[in-house]
């Protein structure tokens, strides 16, 4: 009997996507997978059953995809990221597999509604902000473009945290997203790798008389793989996201248990598995720093072992490794992979330093996501030496050889050597991980044109002069399948009915909408869809916060990670200005506004958490003032995540992208809002500049200082107090905050915020405030003319095609990875 053919026939029977086959599979899973019937099945059971039904239809493609990669010995891309903010999988998988309608009808006939079932799914807690969401969009695009690619990260048991709001303050709770299981993942206990820490480095002479190093007397933690299938859109490609979960090398100490020491019996298991418990442990204490570095090395070590295992299936030497393996480092978090690969090649495979280094540099590529000094990772020499003593030796050797090459080109420039060194001198020596990533990679890219230019001219100028061919730009993008088709079905349908659905694979097709911006009936339908989205969001706001908002008001949305440079503070100060204007009747024909905030602050970021409190305190005053009514509402939606963004973005009228110029690397929220017809108010920062260039200056609201102006003012001396003293509205807003208008029970509560603004104002809030207020006046003027507003909304959607992650990934594949599409055939198709 041919086992393979028999198995394929069985798989074929569970791959059908007609309504009857879906219903049969769904019923089978309720009974056989969950041991329930229609009377005892809960909402969660119904969700799991349809998830298993959809997963079944991924399996054949998944197996065929992986086998095709082996059969053709293709070059593969490995995308290493500490975050993958995936969002809910059910709806996205149905769209990509192209049987959303069939599934909806199949369930409807059985008395269930797909939309309600989708709401049961818990967001995967694998990321925090733009970094993780970008990684998720990239996985979708890599599969859609049929690229042989894998994602690698950590399977966090509790994610970052579940954000509650108590008395206006952020409260961090465990995000137990795995409490009820994850039907999309496959446990792979056969892929279990040892990851070592601590120990010491010994030396020995091998059989050829060569002195070798050996990392010995180590502690070991095991990394176990969990796989999640990632389908492409309307093709047979299903790629793999592999996440690592920490396991103890010794699960249970029976001797301690028998002696009555029950806690000690399980102590090693608890200590080991802490590594994959949460994303971004607080690193203000030494143990937090140590855990972060452990996390980074843990997933990097397991990943490289897995990559090399796969490579060795078809290759006996490492000569072709860079021709078959491309590893992309998503920021500096995985940069420890560079000395790890050197350790493997030199110490385990016996390859010479020179050859190992050539392999390493030609394998790795590095994406930089920030220019903020505090975000450019550095690890203390002491900590690396304690946890990874062999890697510290390798880093020192990399640095020595690198500085020798710099010295040979710039022989009399000691300052340059100091600036470029991988080791930062000071009271505590530190390894500059961004420098390590640049030196150990053949490509370094920024994620927006301005960001890349800043990297080249300031942050990494010395490296550009040394490696001019290594630097390039890859402007970020988003997947239109999730961020329009899935999250805004009504608008998606209108677009497809009008110009066809080619935009789902080629977003530039949206340009075909331009002639319809002047079509009265089309514009009316466009407005009707927006209003419906706003009504649905208003219902969610009422349900979540008990705040009733005016659906005819201008929905201004500021949803992103809470950070001073993103300037949620400037937005809430503008709210105070609007509040005062309404109280004083100083604005004629006031345009009602709903100001919507969402985002999490890092647990250790005091000022960001205080800004959340300020937003909620202002909201309490504004929302409960009878003089204001429904003219102005302020809402902070707790626990912002992907599924919430999918509610907010389709309903937004105005997208707040107001970071200090030169601070935001790219941003992708700006792209998502524009794709859904929001107009943008923003600074000339990140991808805002490129969005402006695409949609046109007349179709976006730009304000504030440019990056060069910010730099100039800081160099000549910035005095924020002058702006405070000379702007009555600004002074009034700050004084109200400082004097306890929004914190009557604790007048000094917000003193850290007002002191920061008046004494340093690092992010130029006061300098840009007047321009921001004036720009909002233009917003109000345009919003009163709904015909013109709708026209500009349509133009924004029509001209946003550049910002598909498909375009971004195509550029990575062509310019950095040198990988080709591999179409997957099923049964000869």
* Residues identified as active-site: 369, 560-561, 566, 668, 672
Q: Give the bridge partners for 245, in sequence order.
A: 224
Q: Which of 333, 335, 343, 434 is nearest to 394 (CA)?
A: 343
- Answer whether 668's CB lies under 8 Å from 736's CB: no
Tokens of 482: 């999730």
Distance CA 545, CA 556 (A): 17
Distance CA 242, CA 187 (A): 10
Alpha helices in 252-285 (DSSP H): 254-258, 262-265, 267-273
The gap from C-alpha 315 to its chain's centroid, in whole angstroms, comes to 34
Distance CA 335, CA 81 (A): 10
Distance CA 115, CA 183 (A): 18
Distance CA 574, CA 594 (A): 13
Distance CA 51, CA 43 (A): 12
Q: Give φ, ψ of 599 to 5 degrees.
A: 155, 160
- Answer whether 208's CB lies under 8 Å from 252's CB: no
Look at strands 162-166 and 471-473 and give their pairing.
unpaired
Distance CA 483, CA 476 (A): 14
Distance CA 596, CA 170 (A): 16
Q: Please report, for residues 453, 593, 640, 645, 687, the alpha-carbon distance to residue 683 in angstroms, rounded to integers and kept in the order given.
A: 17, 21, 23, 22, 10
464: Cβ–Cβ under 8 A, 6 or more apart, which residues?
A: 455, 456, 471
Q: Give the bridge partners for 330, in sequence order.
A: 367
Distance CA 74, CA 147 (A): 10
Degrees (nearest 5) of the Cα angle 666, 670, 673? 160
Taking the chain, what is the end-to-end CA distance rounded to the nearest angstrom?
25
Q: Which of 380, 196, 392 is nearest to 301 (CA)?
A: 196
- 812: number of Cβ within 10 Å: 27
- 313: number of Cβ within 10 Å: 8
Task: Name the strand (E) or helix (H) holding 435.
Answer: helix 433-439
DSSP-assigned states of every residue in 500-538: -SGGGT-GGGGGGGGGGGG-HHHHHHHHHHHHHHHHHHH
Distance CA 507, CA 711 (A): 36
Degrees (nearest 5) of the Cα angle 645, 648, 651? 145
- Answer whether 197's CB lies under 8 Å from 387's CB: yes
Tokens of 409: 């080109």
186: Cβ–Cβ under 8 A, 6 or more apart, which residues?
A: 226, 227, 228
- Answer whether 609's CB lies under 8 Å from 568's CB: no
- Answer whether 143's CB lies under 8 Å from 820's CB: no
Residue 740, Cβ density class (10 Å: 0-12 exposed, 13-18 middle, ≥19 buried): middle
291: Cβ–Cβ under 8 A, 6 or more apart, which residues?
A: 274, 275, 281
Residue 283, Cβ density class (10 Å: 0-12 exposed, 13-18 middle, ≥19 buried): middle
Q: Give the bridge partners for 80, in sequence order.
A: 152, 329
The gap from C-alpha 6 to its chain's centroid, in whole angstroms, comes to 42
């Amino acid at each position: 009997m041919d086992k393979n053919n028999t198995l394929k026939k069985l798989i074929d029977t569970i791959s059908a996507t007609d309504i009857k086959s879906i219903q049969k599979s769904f019923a089978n899973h309720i009974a056989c997978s969950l041991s329930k019937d229609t009377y005892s099945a809960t909402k969660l059971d119904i969700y799991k059953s349809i998830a298993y039904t959809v997963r079944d239809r991924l399996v054949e493609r998944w197996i065929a995809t992986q086998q095709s990669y082996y059969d053709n010995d293709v070059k593969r891309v490995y995308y290493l990221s500490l975050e993958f903010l995936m969002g809910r999988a059910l709806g996205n998988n149905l769209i990509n597999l192209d049987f959303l309608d069939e599934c909806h009808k199949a369930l409807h006939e059985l008395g269930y509604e797909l939309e309600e079932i989708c709401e049961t799914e818990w967001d995967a807690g694998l990321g925090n902000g733009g970094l993780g969401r970008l990684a998720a969009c990239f996985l979708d695009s890599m599969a859609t473009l049929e690229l042989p690619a894998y994602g690698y990260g950590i399977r966090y048991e509790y994610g970052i945290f579940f954000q509650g709001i108590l008395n206006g303050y952020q409260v961090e709770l465990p995000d137990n997203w795995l409490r009820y299981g994850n039907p999309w993942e496959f446990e792979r206990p056969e892929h279990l790798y040892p990851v070592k820490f601590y120990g010491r480095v010994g030396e020995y002479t091998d059989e050829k008389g060569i002195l070798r190093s050996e990392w010995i007397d180590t502690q070991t933690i095991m990394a176990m793989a969990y796989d999640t299938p990632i389908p492409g859109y309307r093709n047979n490609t299903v790629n793999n996201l592999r996440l690592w979960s920490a396991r103890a090398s010794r699960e249970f100490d029976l001797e301690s248990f028998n002696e009555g020491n029950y806690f000690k019996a399980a102590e090693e298991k608890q200590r080991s598995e802490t590594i994959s418990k949460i994303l971004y442990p607080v690193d203000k204490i030494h143990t937090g720093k140590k855990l972060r570095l452990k996390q980074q090395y843990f997933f990097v070590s397991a990943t490289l072992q897995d990559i090399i295992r796969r490579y060795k299936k078809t290759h006996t030497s490492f000569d072709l490794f860079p021709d078959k393996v491309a590893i992309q480092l998503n920021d500096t978090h995985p940069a420890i992979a560079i000395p790890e690969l050197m350790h493997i090649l030199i110490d385990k495979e016996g390859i010479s330093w020179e050859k190992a280094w050539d392999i390493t540099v030609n394998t790795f590529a590095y994406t930089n996501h920030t220019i903020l000094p505090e975000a450019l990772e550095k690890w203390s020499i002491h900590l690396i030496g304690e946890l990874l003593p062999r890697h510290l030796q390798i880093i020192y050797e990399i640095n020595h050889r690198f500085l020798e090459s710099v010295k040979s080109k710039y022989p009399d420039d000691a300052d340059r050597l100091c600036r470029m060194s991988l080791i930062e001198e000071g009271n505590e020596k530190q390894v500059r991980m961004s420098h390590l990533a640049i030196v150990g990679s053949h490509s370094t890219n920024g994620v927006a044109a301005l960001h890349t230019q800043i990297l080249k001219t300031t942050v990494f100028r010395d490296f550009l002069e040394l490696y001019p061919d290594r630097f390039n730009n890859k402007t970020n993008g988003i997947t239109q399948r999730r961020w329009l088709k899935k999250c805004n079905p009504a608008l998606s349908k209108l677009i497809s009915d009008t110009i066809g659905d080619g935009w789902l694979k080629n977003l530039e097709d949206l340009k075909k909408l331009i002639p319809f911006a002047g079509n009265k009936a089309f514009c009316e339908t466009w407005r009707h869809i927006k209003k419906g989205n706003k009504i649905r969001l208003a219902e969610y706001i009422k349900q979540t916060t008990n705040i009733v908002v005016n659906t005819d008001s201008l929905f201004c949305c500021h949803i992103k990670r809470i950070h001073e440079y993103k300037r949620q503070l400037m937005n809430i100060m503008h709210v105070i200005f609007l509040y005062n204007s309404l109280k004083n009747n100083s604005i004629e024909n006031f345009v009602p506004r709903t100001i919507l905030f969402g985002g999490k602050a890092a647990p250790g970021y005091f000022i960001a958490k205080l800004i959340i409190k300020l937003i909620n305190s202002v909201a309490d005053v504004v929302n409960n003032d009878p003089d204001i009514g429904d003219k102005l509402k302020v809402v902070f939606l707790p626990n912002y995540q992907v599924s919430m963004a999918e509610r907010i973005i389709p309903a937004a009228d105005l997208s707040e992208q107001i970071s200090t110029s030169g601070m935001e690397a790219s941003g992708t929220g700006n792209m998502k809002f524009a794709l859904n017809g929001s107009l943008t108010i923003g600074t000339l920062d990140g991808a805002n500049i490129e969005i402006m260039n695409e949609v046109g200056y007349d179709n976006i609201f730009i304000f504030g200082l440019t990056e060069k102006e910010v730099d100039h003012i800081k160099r000549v001396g910035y005095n924020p107090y002058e702006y405070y003293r000379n702007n009555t509205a600004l002074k009034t807003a700050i004084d109200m905050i400082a004097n306890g208008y929004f914190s009557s029970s604790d007048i000094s509560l917000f003193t850290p915020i007002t002191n920061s603004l008046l004494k340093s104002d690092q992010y130029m809030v006061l300098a840009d405030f007047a321009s921001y207020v004036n720009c909002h006046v233009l917003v109000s003027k345009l919003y009163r003319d709904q015909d013109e507003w709708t026209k500009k909304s349509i133009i924004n959607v029509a001209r946003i095609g550049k910002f598909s992650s498909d375009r971004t990934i195509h550029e990575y594949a062509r310019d950095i990875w040198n990988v080709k599409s591999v179409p997957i055939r099923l049964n000869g198709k």
